[in-house]
Amino acid sequence: MKRFLPLIVILVLIALAGGGYFLLFVANQAPEQPIAFSHQLHAGTNQIDCAFCHRYARRSTVAGMPSVESCKGCHIIIAAQRPEVQKLMSFWNQQKPIPWVKVYDLPDHVYFSHKRHLLADIECRTCHGDVAGMDQVRLAVDLKMGWCLNCHRQREAGTDCWTCHN
């Protein structure tokens, strides 16, 4: 039995690491949002461009979330009686922002510019997957340093530490 103890310990550690990975990455891929917003309907069926709602992406480091006013602009008329649109209008009437739950959130020490990537003709789907095919947005790519470095190498973009780390 003592012979197998190191092997058992290693297997247990691997199982714990795998379970931790599942809980942190897989299980949280599609967090519950305050409003059931369908990207499949908006970006897919209706072919609304990402930048229409995420207005800052082409000119800033952040893509930004649409304001309640932006959503209200369309939904004061379109599908106004649907329950999820009623939730939206409730936020508008209370003059409160929608408390969206971030799906993609890089660590604070990582510098990422949506503007830079869009100017380099990197499509949103490269990092976010086929959002137009997703009813509820989920993590499509595990945006860890190795994944980003591979992408930079493939495109012959900078890979020195200061490219991404402040």
pLDDT beyond 90 at 93: yes
Average pLDDT over residues 55-64: 90
What is the per-residue pLDDT for 162?
A: 83
CB of 111 within 8 A of CB of 165?
yes
With a cut of 70, say whether residue 2 has pLDDT above it.
no
pLDDT reported for residue 166 = 65
Q: Which two tokens stand for residue 50?
A: 């990402």
In order of 36, 114, 140, the CA distances from 127 in angstroms are 22, 11, 7
pTM of the complete model: 0.73
Check residue 164 and give its pLDDT: 80
